[in-house]
Structure 1
């Protein structure tokens, strides 16, 4: 079965030296996520990368993007409810931070790899790095959730989300603070001001961001996304400040 309708040399990542039939790929992924699609086309749309379509925007690419949009909304809503029920003694600030931790790209990428999504996705012949792209993987998890919602409804989608994200609901993980939060707390406590982030440029390798505290303290960070670059910059500045304090 050619998901690209003959308009591109589509491949799916091999589980072994040979390629598996599409229906077997579907079955293996369905077994992992413990959900069987009634409408296999929804699953196709969710796990097919845009590189599988021609350069001109394809209607199927649009459907995939809409699944991402829907899946993002469903995921945020379900995670919000699950957190509210699990941590009834926590305040709104904790719940908001916990939700951000669970739906961020890094967590979604971990989920994608946990269900072996890189080996079950479809992509174009010229894009062999696609299965390792964190943005692609996180978007595909959202699209998969959107597809499950359309195929089986909210109850089924909630069950799948609960199972997939269960390993990430530990209090220890959810209270782990990222460099931006730590730098903000440090800056407020010491100088009563907030760090400011300035995007400088985007290159082929990613983004560059500079973080400032006042006029004199700054650090430059780089990353594949603005968020990653901000985290990198915050980590470097925080490291410099704490080393100075300890000197």
Structure 2
């Protein structure tokens, strides 16, 4: 593979970070190669095939994870959407600093044009790891990134719970012809901490806490939302 020492070092540094003793280092080169770099250097490959594979593997592993938590089909679909989306994958990619190990063409502005590329890199890397190391290693990385965000109730910045709960409650209102509107109460304890409770009409659906009013409201919306998509959730 026609790469210089600097390019290979980028791959070796990434493998060391991920604690991977690669069987086929070329897979990781392919996983980090954007189309713009291939156009300039005529390598004959890009990360797109591995990205396709990684997308499927990520979805499978997250689906299996939710399956063994005993969720029903509808709940698994909704939660998987919350875990596996472009913003979350980009966040995981940034946590691993994948853009620093990628091969990009000179015409790509790494500061303004790489949001989608960062998402794609995470998927392509998972595809490469699956082929080289097996599914268990992919699960290990997902467990420490996107699954961890979910388990820590830390999807607030990547999933718009306020919009989702509004859609669910409005749908419920339409189907039952019940009347009401969403509103949030807010309390400030004077120490920079906020408490917010989500009501639909006179019914309380969730109470959240946060360092800002927005975070407290989003947490309240998350709790309310999960009452619709998780089984046996008690506030």
TM-score band by shorter chain is 0.5 to 0.7
Give 1:137 shift. 0.9
Alignment-derived partner of residue 114 in structure 1:
95
Hey, what's the Cα distance between the residues in 2 that align with 1:46 and 1:138? 12
Matches within 5 A, 1:144-183: 144-170=125-151, 172-173=153-154, 178-183=161-166
Alignment-derived partner of residue 133 in structure 1:
114
Hey, what's the Cα distance between the residues in 2 that align with 1:154 and 1:34? 15
Paired residues in the alignment total 174
Give 1:58 shift. 7.0
Hey, what's the Cα distance between the residues in 1 that align with 2:174 and 2:142? 42
Alignment-derived partner of residue 37 in structure 2:
52
The answer to whether the Cα contact below 8 Å between 1:80 and 1:99 also exists between their aligned partners in 2 is: yes
TM-score, with normalisation over the residues of structure 2? 0.63
Structure 2 residue matching 1:60: 3-state secondary structure: coil
Matches within 5 A, 1:20-31: 21-31=6-16
Cα distance per residue 1:157-196 (max 9 Å; x no partner): 3333323334313263469653542332243244449xxx
- Whether 2:123 is the aligned partner of 1:123: answer no
Q: CA 1:66–1:131 in 2, change beyond 3 Å: closer, same or farther?
A: farther
Q: CA RMSD in A?
A: 3.1
Gaps of 5+ in 2: 177-235
Alignment-derived partner of residue 32 in structure 1:
17
Q: CA 1:189–1:83 in 2, change beyond 3 Å: closer, same or farther?
A: closer
Give 1:35 shift. 2.0
Alignment-derived partner of residue 79 in structure 1:
62
Structure 2 residue matching 1:37: 3-state secondary structure: coil
Matches within 5 A, 1:216-227: none
- Whether 2:73 is the aligned partner of 1:92: answer yes
The answer to whether the Cα contact below 8 Å between 2:50 and 2:123 also exists between their aligned partners in 1 is: yes
Gaps of 5+ in 1: 6-19, 194-247
Q: CA 1:58–1:41 in 2, change beyond 3 Å: closer, same or farther?
A: closer
- Whether 2:48 is the aligned partner of 1:65: answer yes
The answer to whether the Cα contact below 8 Å between 1:130 and 1:136 also exists between their aligned partners in 2 is: no
Cα distance per residue 1:137-166 (max 9 Å; x no partner): 111111101111111222333333323334
Runs of 4+ with >4 A deviation: 174-177
Hey, what's the Cα distance between the residues in 2 that align with 1:36 and 1:83? 29
